Amino acid sequence: MIDYLIIGSGLAGISFAEIALRNDKTIFMLDNNSQNSSKIAGGLYNPVILKRFSEVWQAQEQLVLMGEFYSILEKKMSSKVDFKRPILRKFFSVEEQNNWFAASDKVALAPFLSTQLIFKKYLGIDSPYGYGEVLQTGYVDTALLLSKYRVYLNQNNLFREESFDYEALQIESDGIQYKNFHAKHIIFAEGFGMHANPFFNHLPLDGTKGELFIIKATQLDLDVIVNTSVFILPLGNDLFKVGATYNWKDKTDLPTEEGKVELMDRIKEIITCDFEVVEHFAGVRPTVKDRRPLVGTLQNYESIHILNGLGTRGVMLGPAMAKALFENIEYKIPLNKEIDINRFLPKGKK
């Protein structure tokens, strides 16, 4: 018998797998490669919602935990995946500068917003009003992380590529039986694929489609991440990742002409040099309307759990939410009510 059978190998799945392994638990992971939001994610971590100048929920705690989490993973996989980079918010007016200073005076935001404006001239960007610098930021190369972690799992015979057959899951007194797997617990971390899961498809997971570019801009000279209506992330060799769009209606992972036009227009608002689109890709983020993850245990079934709804901030949320779920299962530490799926139970059944 193993401790955990994990369904899904995106950021949620590998975060839980790693937390379990670090606590000397046995795991096995299944995935059918149907979801790609983690693979194509921008991977940025940023403790501030720049559109509204508000703090990301539990930002400081998540940043501390993720720093340690990815540092250990890098040593384990012999690959660097966590890149510390400043995020600069380009200003378009004096009013935006004033809004920045007003936000930086807030107690919750003061650790994250520099009060020293930056007026450095970056080739290919016209920025007469300068930039504000967000602190404690960077990005995780999610595609590399997932690829390397799957190699690690395969080398240790802990992974199999296959679609999960929900009808084959048997619930037993000491856990679950699934085909040739006998496990104490099963963790569903399927991302937007949760809609096919009969145990949890009643939860309000609302996928948000995002489209991104890889562009080549030989005259754009950036060593920082610039963020306005889209982010521009330097990848090296004159390549930049740019994104992302937000579409709440289209639930496919196919790039669209509409998304392409939107991204092209937004890029042209930021940079003044020529560029070419090298790659255009899309994915559906697993988002929840109350902007909190879906974490917890199926009512009346102690062996069936979910870790989902990480949305646009999976690299920050993944380690923290995996730790919370693991400690809830193993040590009965209560989940924060804001992430517990029981928040969606009808009144009287909580």
Residue 135 has pLDDT above 80, yes or no: yes
Those residues whose C-beta lies under 8 Å from the C-beta of residue 68, and which sit 6 or more positions away, are none
Which helix (H) or strand (E) element contains residue 155?
helix 142-155
Would you state the pLDDT for residue 35?
A: 81
Annotated domain spans of the chain = 2-43+143-204+290-344, 84-138+206-288
Residue 306, token pair as written in the block: 């979910």
Position 346 scores a pLDDT of 82
Q: What is the pLDDT of residue 21?
A: 98
Give CA angle at 25 (19, 27), nearest 5°: 85
Task: Return the pLDDT at 327.
Answer: 98
84-138+206-288 CATH choice from 3.30.930.10, 3.30.9.10, 3.30.2350.10, 1.20.1200.10? 3.30.9.10
Task: State residue 240's pLDDT score.
Answer: 97
Q: Does 169 have pLDDT greater than 70? A: yes
The residue assigned the tokens 């990480």 is 310
pLDDT in tens, 314-343: 999 999 999 999 999 999 999 999 999 999
Give Cβ neighbours of residue 31 (< 8 Å, ≥ 6 apart). Answer: 7, 8, 9, 13, 159, 161
SS3 call for 318: helix
Annotate 19-73 with DSSP letters as a single string. HHHHTT--EEEEE-S---HHHH---EE-SEETTTTEEPTTHHHHHHHHHHHHHHH
Determine the pLDDT at residue 350.
55
pLDDT band, residue 199 (cuts 50/70/90) = very high
Q: Is the backbone of residue 138 left (phi > 0), alpha (psi -120 to 50) or beta?
A: left
Q: What is the mean pLDDT of the chain?
A: 95
Q: Round to whole Å and give the CA distance between 211 and 214.
A: 11
Q: 2-43+143-204+290-344 has which CATH code?
A: 3.50.50.60
CA Rg, the chain, in Å? 21
The reported pLDDT for the residue numbered 41 is 85
Q: What mean pLDDT comes out for the span 21-32?
A: 97
- The span from the CA of 72 to the CA of 148, in Å, is 14
Q: Is the pLDDT of residue 349 over 70?
A: no
Number of helical H runs and strand E runs in the chain: 7, 20
Q: What span, in angstroms and rounded, lies between the C-alpha atoms of 82 and 79?
A: 9
Which strands, in side-by-side order, build the sheet including 231-236? 131-134, 87-90, 225-227, 231-236, 239-243, 205-216, 276-288
The pLDDT tens digits of the residues spanning 74-94 come to 999 999 999 999 999 999 999
